[in-house]
Amino acid sequence: MTVPLIGYADRISARAGEKIAFKISSVGPAPYRATMVRIVRGDPNPAAPSPKYEDLSRLFAGEFPSREQHAWPGSYAVIERAADLKPLSSLQVEALIWPTLPADDAQAVLSRRDPANGAGFSFLLTAKGMTLEVGGAKVTVGKPLRERTWYRVWASADPATGQLRVGQQPLKRAYASDDEGEATATAPTPLKLDAARAILIGAEATRDRPAHRCFNGKIEAPSIAGVATWDFSRGMDSLEVEDTGPNGLHGRLVNLPTRAMKGAHWTGEERDWRRAPLQYAAIHFHDDDLYDCGWSDDFTFTVPQDLGSGVYGMALTCGPHHDIIPFFVLPERGKPKSKVCYLAATLTYQAYGNHRRGLYNEAFRQRIVEQKAYAYNPDEHRGFGPSTYNLHRDGSGTAYVSLRRPLITWRPDYLYFDPGDTGSGVRHLGADTHLTGWFDRLGIDFDVVTDHDLDREGAELLAPYKVVLTGSHPEYHTESTLDALQQYVDTGGRLMYLGGNGFYWRVSLSKKVPDVLEVRRTEGGIRSWAADNGEYHHAFDGAYGGLWRRSDRPPNLLCGIGFSSQGTFTGESYRRTAASRDPQHAWIFDGVKEELFGGFGFAGGGAAGFEIDRFDPKLGSPINTVVVATSEGHDPKNYVVVHEERLAFATTISGDPLDQLVRADMVYMDKPAGGAVFSVGSITYCGSLPFNDFDNDISRLTFNVVNRMGELGLKWPFSPKG
């Protein structure tokens, strides 16, 4: 299905003087309009404070002609220099393949065809086995291949005699299987073998799109005798494929198939591809991979010098259709405008980009219409590629996710699910506007930086700020972002972690493959798919993937707590501890009257819920961490302890009973040089900030902490209750 109006930008953040290019697809006959807005609040729930988008048309507004731009999923390698090859006197091709959807229609292993006249060849996997097509002639083995089994496959063609030959042989035979064979045929001569076109590996050229017949599965060591032999163990961290033959027919990958994959010769003795690259000389192609849509620019916007740091958007309208493409504006380098910094969890937004949850039904669609929320859902509009929470069509996990495509879920008014009566269905950017709306309502000035900026620029980016706040779910981090945050708090910075399940998964970015995040879901953890054995190391940097905890960097080290339990999207209350009444920490609760507080909000109906974190010295929580409140009331039927905490049915690593690990701990700890950390351990926490027009105990407590940590000198803006 076509989304009638949608777009993306060439960058997610910018500073004054920097340019952002916007790429739009609009199918309407009339022009569309683009208007600059500041995103303050996005939650469309009518029970919450209404969405707030400040009109900045004085800075940018315009009408532009509608045109449809297409996304073309499917990964492959293209060898463009092959178009200049001399005519082939004969053809001999060979490869190792590991098909994942062998019963599908034709999938190209190697091809060089002219779609205009049909000349050239295609070496194909079909439901009836390996097939060679040359011009209008073809030959098929006639025996299906088994799924996820390595085969040596080959084919040849002799233009002079018209002799065609194709074969397949499993590297490991299976009892009672009949999947080995060879077939020959004689075609009328002369064969139309030559086509002055590029060679494609994993796809075939077509007239109406860049490629089709995309392969699903792994390909290793494809070769054309006398022409090229490609070695996929080289350039593992890049988009390049290398030819080791005399012609140097190097190529490039399109739509980012997965690298650092076990090959046909993997022995299991070495699990790090850097130590045995020849055992990882396979690339896993998918017909739904998508890296770069390659859309043309429609217009550009240059950030003016006087525009404050914040969360902004380019609002698009065309008839009844609308979209908002968010972006972030940073302060000038080295010139912060506030003592407070909001760290936008853009790595997490990216990891969840286009998350298909399988929950989109008529009731959900009706909720979206009623709330005038963002109209589209990736369950229905699947052409922009999956998220790292989804499986590819062949059942393998999605290890890469790109920014160079529309991300339906990255919208301030996007509903992740139908929450029923438990509040709002927003998450990620939408949920984090509960915090930015709170800043606005309480008159707290703040600057914005993003995870991606922090990865590039390090702790120096945070150093000018008295306090840094996260949003609801800072789950994904690179080594550089964790290093920067740890350095910040260890050298006097103050961190407020206002979410849950934070600092959990290790991800990698790459300068060679810009705008892409890589994750490997290894060993354990709450996860939607599991990486295959031996495929735990990232292709981008060789790092061991999975939970940061597996690399001896549990979240507890940074923020005093770590992921402990996951449940349904419901929230409960916190109860104050005795330590919270100590004069050293009682200031946190100034104006908070109740011992049991936070049982309200627009995220699950309570401040403590969904994914929650706990204090645990065994996992690295510093000894001076003070638990000032702990959640209670979580229904054990709706919550599970995270997998990495469990040893057996009712046995945990900590030795605690399972029910005692289902809790959110609110903690405070002092750090060197005047630094400090305050953590709440709950994804739903920020959803309680806007309750009662922001005048509530969670709002007051958060105000107390940011006011003290940020040295703001502000007064609580609401009149005393009662």
- Are 10 and 91 in the same domain? no
Q: What is the chain's mean pLDDT, rounded?
A: 96
CATH code of 175's domain: 2.60.120.200
What is the pLDDT averaged over residues 569-597?
96
182 strand-pairing partners: 167
Residue 299 has pLDDT above 50, yes or no: yes
Q: Which pairing describes strands 562-576 and 516-518: parallel, antiparallel, or unpaired?
A: unpaired
**Tokens standing for residue 571:** 């929230």
679 — pLDDT class (breaks 50, 70, 90): very high
- Are 168 and 196 in the same domain? yes
- How far is residue 355's CA from residue 348's CA, in Å, rounded to a whole number? 12
- How far is residue 670's CA from residue 320's CA, in Å, rounded to a whole number? 53
**Tokens standing for residue 325:** 């493409």
285 — pLDDT class (breaks 50, 70, 90): very high
- Are 244 and 117 in the same domain? yes
- How far is residue 717's CA from residue 702's CA, in Å, rounded to a whole number? 13
633 — pLDDT class (breaks 50, 70, 90): very high
Q: Which residue has the tokens 């002219």?
A: 114
721 — pLDDT class (breaks 50, 70, 90): low
- Are 98 and 170 in the same domain? yes
Does residue 100 belong to any structural domain of this protein? Answer: yes
In this prediction, residue 648 carries a pLDDT of 87
23 strand-pairing partners: 8
- How far is residue 529's CA from residue 532's CA, in Å, rounded to a whole number? 9
- How far is residue 90's CA from residue 278's CA, in Å, rounded to a whole number? 29
Task: Work out the number of other CB atoms within 10 angstroms of the CB of residue 269.
Answer: 9
State the maximum Cα–Cα separation within the chain, in Å, rounded to a whole number: 98
Helix or strand (DSSP H, E) at 433: helix 429-442
Does residue 215 belong to any structural domain of this protein? Answer: yes
What is the pLDDT averaged over residues 138-148?
97
| Closest CA relative to residue 323, chosen from 649, 60, 23 | 23
Does residue 333 belong to any structural domain of this protein? Answer: no
DSSP 560-572: S-EEEEEEEEEEE
| Closest CA relative to residue 434, chosen from 571, 528, 329 | 571
- Are 241 and 313 in the same domain? no
- How far is residue 325's CA from residue 319's CA, in Å, rounded to a whole number? 17
- Are 226 and 314 in the same domain? no
Q: Is the peptide bond before 190 cis (omega within 30 degrees of 0)?
A: yes
Residue 28 has pLDDT above 90, yes or no: no
Question: Of 227, 253, 285, at which residue does a domain stop?
Answer: 285
- How far is residue 677's CA from residue 709's CA, in Å, rounded to a whole number? 9
- How far is residue 266's CA from residue 284's CA, in Å, rounded to a whole number? 15
Task: Work out the number of other CB atoms within 10 angstroms of the CB of residue 116.
Answer: 10
- Are 186 and 140 in the same domain? yes
**Tokens standing for residue 285:** 């192609």
SS3 459: helix
Weakest-pLDDT range from 278-282, 421-425, 594-598, 623-627? 421-425
Q: 517-553 pLDDT, tens per residue?
A: 999 999 988 999 999 999 999 999 999 999 999 999 9
- How far is residue 518's CA from residue 401's CA, in Å, rounded to a whole number? 7
- Are 47 and 83 in the same domain? no
| Closest CA relative to residue 720, chosen from 575, 593, 606, 594 | 593
Residue 255 has pLDDT above 50, yes or no: yes
Q: Which pairing describes strands 240-243 and 251-254: parallel, antiparallel, or unpaired?
A: antiparallel
- Are 59 and 179 in the same domain? no
In this prediction, residue 623 carries a pLDDT of 95
Residue 199 has pLDDT above 90, yes or no: yes
Beta-carbon contacts of 488 under 8 Å, excluding residues fewer than 6 positions away, are 459, 462, 463, 468, 495, 675
Radius of gyration of the chain (CA): 28
| Closest CA relative to residue 280, chosen from 267, 294, 291, 298 | 267
In this prediction, residue 722 carries a pLDDT of 45
Which parts of 571-693 fold into alpha helices (H)?
none
Fill in the amino acid letter for 84.
D
Q: Which residue has the tokens 């946190």?
A: 588
- Are 29 and 86 in the same domain? no
- How far is residue 386's CA from residue 354's CA, in Å, rounded to a whole number? 6
580 — pLDDT class (breaks 50, 70, 90): very high
| Closest CA relative to residue 547, chosen from 563, 558, 561 | 563
SS3 182: strand
* Domain that includes residue 122, residue range: 76-285
Does residue 96 belong to any structural domain of this protein? Answer: yes
DSSP 380-430: T--TT---TTSB-TTS-B--EEESSS--TT-STT--SS--TTSB----THH
In this prediction, residue 377 carries a pLDDT of 97
- How far is residue 200's CA from residue 203's CA, in Å, rounded to a whole number? 6
In this prediction, residue 175 carries a pLDDT of 80
Q: How far is CA 405 from CA 68, 166, 354, 358, 414, in A?
A: 14, 39, 10, 21, 17
Helix or strand (DSSP H, E) at 488: helix 479-490
Q: Which pairing describes strands 107-113 and 199-201: parallel, antiparallel, or unpaired?
A: antiparallel
- How far is residue 328's CA from residue 10's CA, in Å, rounded to a whole number? 12
Q: 489-514 pLDDT, tens per residue?
A: 999 999 999 999 999 999 999 999 99
The percent of residues in the chain predicted with pLDDT above 70, rounded, is: 100
Q: Is the dihedral of CA 380, 381, 382, 386 positive or negative?
A: negative
**Tokens standing for residue 404:** 């160079």
Residue 87 has pLDDT above 80, yes or no: yes
**Tokens standing for residue 261:** 């994959």
Does residue 21 belong to any structural domain of this protein? Answer: yes
- Are 144 and 242 in the same domain? yes
**Tokens standing for residue 156:** 């040849």
| Closest CA relative to residue 257, chosen from 219, 233, 220, 283 | 283
Q: Is the dihedral of CA 613, 615, 617, 618 positive or negative?
A: negative
Q: How far is CA 321 from CA 56, 374, 549, 622, in A?
A: 20, 10, 44, 51
Beta-carbon contacts of 655 under 8 Å, excluding residues fewer than 6 positions away, are none
Does residue 606 belong to any structural domain of this protein? Answer: no
Q: 29-66 pLDDT, tens per residue?
A: 999 999 999 999 999 999 999 999 999 999 999 999 99
Does residue 452 belong to any structural domain of this protein? Answer: no
- Are 95 and 231 in the same domain? yes
- How far is residue 147's CA from residue 578's CA, in Å, rounded to a whole number? 60
Domain count, the chain: 2
| Closest CA relative to residue 562, chosen from 578, 552, 549 | 549
Residues in the chain: 722
DSSP 70-127: ------EEEEGGGGGPPPPS-EEEEEEEEES-TTSS-EEEEEEE-TTT--EEEEEEET
- How far is residue 453's CA from residue 330's CA, in Å, rounded to a whole number? 9
Does residue 579 belong to any structural domain of this protein? Answer: no
